[in-house]
Amino acid sequence: MQQVAFAVLSLITLGAAIMVVTTPSLLRSALWLILAFFGIAGIFVLLNADFLAITQILVYIGAISTLMIFAVMLSSKVMDPHQPRFNEQWGLVGGFSALLFVALAAIVSRVVWPVAQGEVPVDTIQRLGADFVGPYVIPFEIASVLLVVAMIGAIIIARERE
């Protein structure tokens, strides 16, 4: 049953990802990317990481995808939905992509990935919260500082010039 679910979710994610890079219209690429994000959230659920799945939906689909759609809408080229999909370099780029794919496949299949010991806890949020203020407090605080810096930068850029 898990294999079937994983196969379906992978098909959705990979299919949506292929459509992202081959759709002629820029806005539809953003929408296919949202479907890919849903597929990834599903894979998180399969791995019992429920908090990560919901955060994926909340952050990636709710905020980052909205930002991307705004950027697409406010750029000038999006009014033309029939841009050429390939330019003259597609052979060289395709060759390099295939090379990258072969290298990644070799790495993924040959490396012995370390598996974490112990059971997956039923209540992942408790463990996440305890770890955030326990062993991983410094990355947590640095991420908060980064967010404050970004917010101050956005306010400075977007304020009215007196």
Partner 1 sequence: MINYLSDFFVNLARSWTAWISGFLPVWAVTVVNYVIVAVILVMMPVIATLTLTWMERKVIGRIQNRIGPNRVGPWGIFQAIADAVKMLVKEDIVPDNADKPVFNIAPILIAAAACLLWAVLPFGRNMIGADLNIGALYVIAIGSFTTVAVLMAGWSSNNKFALIGAFRVVAQLLSYEIPMVLSVAAVVLLVGTMRMGQIVELQTVPFVFLLPTTFLIYMLSAIAETGRAPFDLLEADSEIVAGYFVEYSGLKFGWFYIAEYGNLMAVAAIATTLFLGGWRGPGVAAVPALGPFYFAVKILVIVFVLMWIRGTLPRFRIDQMLGFAWKVLVPAALANLLWVAIVLKLPVPTALQWLLILAGNLITLVVALTLLGRAAKQYAARRGLVSA
Which positions touch partner 1 (CB under 8 A)? 1, 25, 27-28, 31, 34, 50-51, 54-55, 57-58, 61-63, 65-66, 69-70, 73, 81, 122-125
Q: What's the closest the beta carbon of residue 88 comes to partner 1, in angstroms?
A: 29
Closer to partner 1 by CB, 17 or 27: give it: 27
Closer to partner 1 by CB, 4 or 107: give it: 4
Q: What's the closest the beta carbon of residue 122 comes to partner 1, in angstroms?
A: 8
Closer to partner 1 by CB, 95 or 134: give it: 134
Q: Which of 29, 18, 16 is nearest to 77 (CA)?
A: 29
Burial of 3-15, coded b for 16+ CB within 10 Å and e otherwise, reads: eeeeeebeebbee
Q: What angle do CA 1, 14, 68 make, to 5 degrees?
A: 125
Closer to partner 1 by CB, 58 or 106: give it: 58
Q: What's the closest the beta carbon of residue 47 comes to partner 1, in angstroms?
A: 14
Question: Cα(58)–Cα(44) distance, rounded to whole angstroms?
Answer: 14
Phi–psi pair at 147, nearest 5 degrees = -65, -40
